[in-house]
Structure formats: structure tokens, C-alpha cells
């Protein structure tokens, strides 16, 4: 009995031993496998597979691009996230019956919010995406039957639903729409985020602020955005995505660093004044392009800068950076440079006189002509001061020939002494020769010096000076002879702290002798008082400046004109210097009547914006009693307003819904405005509401420029109407 018990015990222990040995063998195998995974290349492979399934490494965190501000903190350019909207038709939880049930409601909601497609079109896009999945599934089954393993191509997986990117606010809204209000694995909704550049002020200072590439990673493409791209773009961060409990989560490894902000010198109010004034004159003269720059005399800060080019559709928009890059012979604005050099060298005095006769002077078989030469008027002798005032080419030619005919190098050395040939860099990036004066020098092999170069240089030909240099020169005259470089980028801010401040670079602390400066300043006053710029004179302050009218060289000859005006105000205590240039205006070219009037408009509006008149200056003129002007338009609306104001008015002689309004010193008169079916209506003198209503009712598309009342329309009244044609109406 005992023996049998011992045998049973041994059998049981043997079985336990076998089990223990087996377990130890499994433990050894596990340890061996673990070691193999840890220490061998096969283990490395499987770790990579595991990480691939649960971790996505080295995903870039895009930094927020820095903002660009006006001098007083208004946003000119900022970064905001935008979202591209797709549907993933291979999402694990998406169901065809649910999609079919709600696609109609979803499409209707999308069409209401984003009307560039109809509800039917949205439905087609979505259901076509599902059909692509079904087609792909069928192909995959066929491939599997043939033993071919093929993944779902991306073109079949993701379908773009909205044409345009949307904001975060819109994204939140569409996530409440039918079917898309589920989790993303059920709805298939994918919002792909990207940073986009936004300009809250629209096209204000657009060319100067610049642009960025559509792919923001590529950075700035032009203007300040390009010049300071390395500071604005910031430093990208790094993150990885990890699957935790079945959900993907972002884990930041290195946070992105935001780009620096830039505070410019631009004043949004002055910029708007400058742009409106230039645009109005360009439209009036149908010029090819125009430039206007206004800067503070003492600081060198550019407060407004506009570059407008005529586009293919006839409208004007910011195009090339003409203020810095337009290389043309400046014409008569350069005569002030000639006078300064000659006066400083003691070659002449302001009262020295030269014979001009009828405005013709021949030198080395080439004729120098004054603008009045065709009239045959004999002006006899003119002083240097008078020559500057009436812009005489003959006087300036004889001035340089008197002083420098035997030594032209001395004249160009005088221009160098002023600082006009000094190479400078600008806040707006340029290429090649642009942005630097191209002034000829005797014996310079790159610029041919002919026998007639010297006299022609004296009145602004055979030399090229961009507008920014002329502005800088005249500002030096206003600034007591101290020439400073105009600039735009004023402060650089990192994380709310100013890390760099910019002051104007002094190009030349003393352009000329004090006595020369005083003589030049008096001459520029005479240009306004008695010379070519009488029309520029203001009732509010004194202006000093110089007109310029230069022919444009093209194909070896001269054709069309570049008209300009550069000056400063108030002349006694200068606040601002302004340059205005118009390229190829139609009509009789006039530096004073064209560019000068833009200068006057900018100057007066800027002055009145900043200066407060005293009470006595604002008293009502009791000798005049003026009634307000009423716009043309709907008679019932005008009549109601006239009655509410108790103004006398007479209705149209015959029944009419639309009228032209006028005041004849006793009452408002309304004349019927006849409208003919099939003809362009006359909307001049109307407000925006009435004008747009009439034109669109006629079947036209309307492009509106400006504010106030209609002063012109691109399609002439009474012209045969073609429905769908776009008509541009300009308002002031």
C-alpha cells in the first residue's frame, strides 16, 4: 500500500516536473525572442512596423507668420488658418444608406452657404465620390481573385467638396450640417489646415506690403514680405502623431516659433488719400501708370506710397514698384539739381541772365527747345531764377555750358557731392540697375558721353533717376540741406517686445552751402507763384516745388510723356515732401496741371486731416445761402426727402419714375430721365443704389469704383445694350 502511494507521488512529481520544465522552456523561448527583437536587425524591422502603426514621426508644425502693421497699429497683413474641405469615402464608419438619406439636406445647406455650386451639383460631387469607392472596391476584388494586392489610390480616397478654402468659423458651422455632424470616421469629413495671408485693408499699399506664395512655406514673393521674409516666417516646430487607445493624438516635440512683427511708417489715412487722388487723375487722363509718395520731412518716414498700373481690363491696380524701379529721364525736376551744383560752385547767381530769344538754341548741330518755342515769342533775356520758374531748357543749357563746357567732370562731381549717385538699398527688393540713379560720367565706358550730353543733362535727359531719388533730393531741400533716405520698416517686434528700431539713414548731412540752399528754396517758391505750377498754389498754405515733363525714349526715338511734380509744404516750416509721376497720360502733357494737381489734392487733404482750424476760421459765410446738391435717381425717393427737409421742389413736367435734379435759385427742378429698352441707361449723377439697380435691371454686370455719385460710366448712355456685359461706374 505504501509502495503504491510512493509510486503515485513520484508520478505526480514527474508530471509537475514536466510541466515546470515545459514552462521554463517557454520562458527561455520568450526571453530569446525578446532578445532577438531587441538586439537583431529583424527586431529593428518589427519595431519600425509597430511604430509605423502607432506613431507618425517628424510632422512639421508651421509657425505663424509675423504681422505687418501701420505706424499706429492697424493690420496691413496677418496670417489666419484656412481649411480645404475633403471627404474620405473610405472612412471606416461611413455607410451608404446613411449617406444617401442625408446627402440632399447636406447639399442644400452647402449651396446656401457656398453658392458657387447648386445643391444638385454638390450632390453629384458627393455621390460621384461614393461611386468611385464602389468602382475601386470592385477592381480590388477582381485583383484579389487574380492574386494582385493593390492599395486604394489617393485620387479615389479623398474628394474635394468645396472649391475655396474656408475659415475656422465656417468650418465649425459645416460640422453641424446633416451627415457631417457625426464623428469624422463616420462622416468622412476632412479639413486640411493651411496658413494663409490676409490683408484687412484690402489692396491698401498692396505692392509695398507685398505678397507671399500660395504655398506659404515658400515665403514672401515681393515687397516687405520678401525683403524681411527671414524675420517674418518664424521657425517651424516638430510634432509626432501617436495612436493612444485607438485615437490619434498630436504630441509636440519642439514648438514652432512665431515670426517677428513689422511696424511700418505707413499712415492708413494718408495712404488712402494718396491712392484716391492718384487714381482719379489716372482715370481722368487715361494714363498708363502712376506713382505718388509722401514722406515726413524730418524723419524720412514714408506715410503713403502708391504704384498704380492700368490692367488689361482698363482698371488701375497695384502692379510694379514704380516708386523705386521706374527708370526714366526725369525731365525738368532735374533742373533744380543743375541749379544747386552751379550755384554752389559759384558759376552763376540767381540774377545772372541768359538770352533765350524764341526758345531755340542750337549746340553741336542739335536743337535745345523750350516748351513755348512754337509760338514764336521772343522772351529776350531770362535770369536763372526766371528760367527755373518757367522751366527753360535753354537757360539751363547755357548755365552748364558757361561753367562746365571745358570740364564736364566737375558738373557730375557736383551731382555726386549732393548724393544723387550714391547706391542705396530699399525696403522693396529690386533687381539690377533699378532703384539706383543712372547718371552719366565722362570717360565712363558703360554710359556713352557724347558732345551734347552735358547740356541735355542740365534739363533732365540722358540720365535716369527713379522717383524715390527725386523725392529724397527735394526732401533734403525742405530739411535744411540734410538728405535722408526714405524708409518704410520702422520697428521689429518679437513676442510683443521691440527688438529693433529703425531711424532714417543720413545720405548727406549737407547737400550744399546754406546760401545756395536759401536761393534754391526761393526759386522753388517762384515756380508756384509765377511759373509753370501756378495751378498748384493752395489757399491753405504755401507750396514749393518743381514741375517735370519728359519725353519717353522708345525704340531709339521719343514718344509720349512722363509728367511729374515734386515739392514740399508748408514752405516756411515743411512737414511733408511729395513726389507724383504719371506715365503716358492722354491730352496736353503738363507737370503742373496733371501731376501737380494730384500733389495739391494730397497735400490739402493731409494738411486738413492734421490741422485744426480755430473757431473764427469756421464762421458761416452769411452772404451765401447754398442748398445741398441732390443726386439724380428715383423721383419718389427724392421727393420724400425734399418734403422732410421743407425744401421747395417741382415735379417733372410729365410722369416719370426717374429724374435729373437741379436747383435754379428758387426751387429744385426735376427733369424726366428717359429710359429706352435695349439701350444703356444714363446713370451719371446718381447714387450707387439707383445706378446699380438700373444697370442690373437692364441685364448688365456692374463694377463700382469710389463713393459718392456717378461721374462716369464705361459704356456710353444710349449705346446698344448687350446683356451680361460689364459696365464700370466711377463715383466721387
Which residues lie closer than 8 Å to 273 by C-beta, 6 or more apart? 304, 601, 602, 605, 606, 609
Q: Is the pLDDT of residue 64 over 80?
A: yes
Q: Is the pLDDT of residue 305 over 60?
A: yes
State which H helix or E strand residue 100 sits in.
helix 96-113
Q: What is the mean pLDDT of the chain?
A: 85
Instruction: For residues 310 and 82, give the distance between their C-alpha atoms in angstroms, rounded to a whole number.
Output: 31
Cβ distance 702 to 727 under 8 Å?
yes
Dump pLDDT digits (tens) for 503-559: 999 999 999 999 999 999 999 999 999 999 999 999 999 999 999 999 987 766 777
Torsion of CA 351, 353, 356, 361, to 10 degrees: -110
Which of 87-91, 239-243, 581-585 shows the lowest per-residue confidence on average (mean pLDDT)? 239-243
Q: For residue 1, what pLDDT is reported?
A: 54
Give bridge partners of residue 650 from the DSSP assignment.
669
Q: For residue 154, what pLDDT is reported?
A: 47
Cβ distance 489 to 464 under 8 Å?
no
Q: Which residue has the higher pLDDT, 250 or 532?
A: 532
Average pLDDT of the residues in 571-580:
96
pLDDT band at 623 (very low <50, low <70, confident <90, very high): very low
> Other CB atoms closer than 10 Å to residue 504's CB: what's the count?
21
Dump pLDDT digits (tens) for 624-643: 556 777 888 888 888 888 88
Average pLDDT of the residues in 678-689:
88
Which residues lie closer than 8 Å to 199 by C-beta, 6 or more apart? 76, 77, 206, 209
Average pLDDT of the residues in 41-61:
58
Q: For residue 616, what pLDDT is reported?
A: 58
Q: For residue 718, what pLDDT is reported?
A: 80
Q: Which residue has the higher pLDDT, 290 or 41?
A: 290
Query: Taking Cα atoms as reference points, which of 84, 225, 98 lies closest to residue 158?
Result: 84
Q: For residue 688, what pLDDT is reported?
A: 86
DSSP codes joined into one string, 266-312? --HHHHHHHHHHHHHHHHHHT-SEEEEEEEETTT-BEEEEEEEEE-T
Cβ distance 186 to 91 under 8 Å?
yes
Phi, psi for residue 498 in degrees, rounded to 5: -75, 115
- Which alpha helices (H) appear in 423-507, and where do they start and end? 453-458, 467-478
Which of 82-91, 395-404, 497-506, 543-552 shows the lowest per-residue confidence on average (mean pLDDT)? 82-91
Q: Is the pLDDT of residue 497 over 90?
A: yes
Q: For residue 720, what pLDDT is reported?
A: 81
- Which alpha helices (H) appear in 286-407, and where do they start and end? 322-325, 335-344, 384-390, 393-404
Q: For residue 355, what pLDDT is reported?
A: 94
Q: For residue 447, what pLDDT is reported?
A: 72
Residue 595: C-alpha distances to residues 91, 291, 530, 534 (Å): 64, 9, 18, 13
pLDDT band at 228 (very low <50, low <70, confident <90, very high): very high
Cβ distance 569 to 538 under 8 Å?
yes
Dump pLDDT digits (tens) for 126-166: 999 888 888 888 888 887 777 766 555 545 578 899 988 88
Q: Percent of the chain having pLDDT more than 70?
A: 88
Residue 413, preceding bond cis, omega within 30 degrees? no
Q: For residue 328, what pLDDT is reported?
A: 87
pLDDT band at 54 (very low <50, low <70, confident <90, very high): low
Instruction: For residues 243 and 247, give the distance between their C-alpha atoms in angstroms, rounded to a whole number.
Output: 5
Dump pLDDT digits (tens) for 346-356: 999 999 999 99
The phi-psi region of residue 475 (left if phi > 0; otherwise alpha if psi is between -120 and 50; otherwise beta) is alpha
**Cα first-last separation, the chain:** 125
pLDDT band at 47 (very low <50, low <70, confident <90, very high): low
Query: Taking Cα atoms as reference points, which of 367, 363, 366, 356 lies closest to residue 394?
Result: 356
Q: Is the pLDDT of residue 283 over 70?
A: yes
Q: At 115, is the secondary structure helix, strand, or coil?
A: coil
Q: Is the pLDDT of residue 567 over 50?
A: yes
Average pLDDT of the residues in 676-684:
86
Dump pLDDT digits (tens) for 335-387: 999 999 999 999 999 999 999 999 899 998 889 998 888 887 788 999 999 99
Torsion of CA 371, 372, 376, 378, to 10 degrees: -110
Q: For residue 581, what pLDDT is reported?
A: 96
Amino acid at each position: 500500500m505504501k509502495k503504491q502511494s510512493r509510486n503515485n507521488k513520484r508520478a505526480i512529481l514527474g508530471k509537475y516536473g514536466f510541466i515546470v520544465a515545459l514552462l521554463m522552456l517557454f520562458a527561455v523561448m520568450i526571453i530569446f525572442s525578446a532578445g532577438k527583437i531587441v538586439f537583431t536587425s529583424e527586431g529593428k524591422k518589427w519595431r519600425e512596423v509597430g511604430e509605423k502603426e502607432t506613431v507618425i514621426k517628424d510632422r512639421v508644425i508651421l509657425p505663424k507668420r509675423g504681422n505687418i502693421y501701420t505706424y499706429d497699429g492697424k493690420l496691413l497683413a496677418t496670417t489666419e488658418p484656412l481649411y480645404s474641405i475633403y471627404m474620405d469615402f473610405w472612412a471606416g464608419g461611413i455607410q451608404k444608406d446613411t449617406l444617401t438619406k442625408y446627402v440632399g439636406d447636406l447639399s442644400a445647406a452647402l449651396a446656401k452657404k457656398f453658392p458657387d455650386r447648386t445643391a444638385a451639383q454638390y450632390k453629384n460631387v458627393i455621390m460621384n465620390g461614393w461611386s468611385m469607392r464602389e468602382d475601386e472596391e470592385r477592381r480590388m476584388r477582381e485583383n484579389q481573385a487574380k492574386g494582385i494586392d493593390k492599395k486604394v489610390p489617393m485620387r479615389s480616397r479623398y474628394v474635394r467638396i468645396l472649391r475655396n478654402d474656408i475659415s475656422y468659423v465656417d468650418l465649425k458651422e459645416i460640422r453641424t450640417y446633416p451627415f457631417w455632424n457625426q464623428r469624422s470616421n463616420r462622416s468622412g469629413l476632412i479639413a486640411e489646415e493651411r496658413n494663409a495671408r490676409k490683408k484687412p485693408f484690402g489692396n491698401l499699399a498692396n505692392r509695398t506690403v507685398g505678397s507671399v506664395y500660395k504655398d506659404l512655406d515658400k515665403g514672401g514673393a515681393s515687397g516687405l514680405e520678401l525683403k524681411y521674409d527671414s524675420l517674418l516666417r518664424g521657425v517651424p516646430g516638430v510634432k509626432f502623431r501617436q495612436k493612444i487607445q485607438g485615437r490619434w493624438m498630436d504630441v509636440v516635440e519642439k514648438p514652432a516659433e512665431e515670426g517677428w512683427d513689422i511696424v511700418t511708417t505707413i499712415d492708413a489715412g494718408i495712404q488712402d488719400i494718396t491712392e484716391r487722388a492718384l487714381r482719379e487723375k489716372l482715370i481722368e487722363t487715361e494714363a498708363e501708370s502712376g506713382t505718388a509718395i509722401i514722406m515726413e520731412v524730418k524723419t524720412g518716414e514714408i506715410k503713403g506710397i502708391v504704384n498704380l498700373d492700368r490692367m488689361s481690363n482698363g482698371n488701375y491696380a497695384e502692379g510694379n514698384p514704380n516708386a523705386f524701379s521706374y527708370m526714366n529721364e526725369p525731365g525738368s525736376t532735374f533742373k533744380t539739381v543743375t541749379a544747386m551744383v552751379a550755384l554752389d560752385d559759384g558759376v552763376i547767381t540767381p540774377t545772372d541772365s541768359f538770352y533765350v530769344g524764341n526758345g531755340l538754341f542750337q549746340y553741336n548741330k542739335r536743337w535745345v527747345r523750350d516748351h513755348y518755342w512754337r509760338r514764336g515769342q521772343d522772351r529776350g533775356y531770362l535770369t536763372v531764377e526766371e528760367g527755373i520758374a518757367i522751366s527753360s531748357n535753354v537757360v539751363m543749357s547755357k548755365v552748364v555750358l558757361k561753367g562746365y563746357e571745358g570740364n564736364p567732370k566737375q558738373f557730375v562731381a557736383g551731382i555726386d557731392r549732393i548724393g544723387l549717385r550714391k547706391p542705396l538699398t530699399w525696403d522693396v527688393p529690386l533687381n539690377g540697375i533699378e532703384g539706383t540713379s543712372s547718371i552719366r560720367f565722362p570717360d565712363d565706358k558703360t554710359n556713352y558721353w557724347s558732345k551734347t550730353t552735358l547740356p541735355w543733362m542740365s534739363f533732365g535727359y540722358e540720365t535716369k533717376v527713379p522717383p524715390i531719388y527725386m523725392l529724397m533730393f527735394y526732401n533734403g531741400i525742405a530739411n535744411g540741406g540734410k538728405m535722408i533716405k526714405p524708409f518704410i520698416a520702422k520697428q521689429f517686434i518679437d513676442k510683443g517686445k521691440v527688438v529693433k528700431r529703425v531711424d532714417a539713414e543720413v545720405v548727406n548731412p549737407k547737400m550744399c552751402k546754406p546760401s545756395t540752399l536759401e536761393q534754391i528754396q526761393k526759386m522753388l517758391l517762384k515756380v508756384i507763384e509765377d511759373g509753370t505750377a501756378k495751378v498748384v498754389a493752395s489757399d491753405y498754405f504755401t507750396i514749393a516745388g518743381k514741375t517735370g515733363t519728359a519725353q519717353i525714349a522708345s525704340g531709339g526715338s521719343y514718344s509720349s510723356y512722363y509728367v511729374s511734380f515734386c515739392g514740399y509744404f508748408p514752405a516756411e516750416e515743411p512737414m511733408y515732401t511729395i513726389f507724383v509721376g504719371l506715365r503716358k497720360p492722354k491730352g496736353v502733357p503738363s507737370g503742373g496741371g496733371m501731376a501737380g494737381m494730384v500733389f495739391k489734392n494730397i497735400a490739402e487733404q493731409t494738411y486738413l486731416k492734421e490741422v485744426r482750424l480755430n473757431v473764427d476760421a469756421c464762421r458761416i459765410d452769411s452772404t451765401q445761402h447754398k442748398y445741398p446738391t441732390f443726386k439724380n435717381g428715383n423721383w419718389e425717393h427724392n421727393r420724400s426727402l425734399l418734403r422732410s427737409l421743407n425744401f421747395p421742389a417741382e415735379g417733372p413736367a410729365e410722369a416719370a419714375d426717374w429724374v435729373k435734379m437741379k436747383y435754379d435759385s428758387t426751387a429744385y427742378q426735376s427733369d424726366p430721365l428717359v429710359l429706352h429698352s435695349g439701350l444703356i441707361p444714363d446713370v451719371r449723377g446718381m447714387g450707387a443704389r439707383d445706378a446699380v439697380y438700373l444697370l442690373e435691371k437692364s441685364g448688365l454686370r456692374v463694377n463700382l469704383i469710389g463713393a459718392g455719385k456717378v461721374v462716369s460710366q464705361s459704356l456710353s448712355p444710349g449705346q446698344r445694350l448687350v446683356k451680361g456685359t460689364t459696365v464700370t461706374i466711377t463715383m466721387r
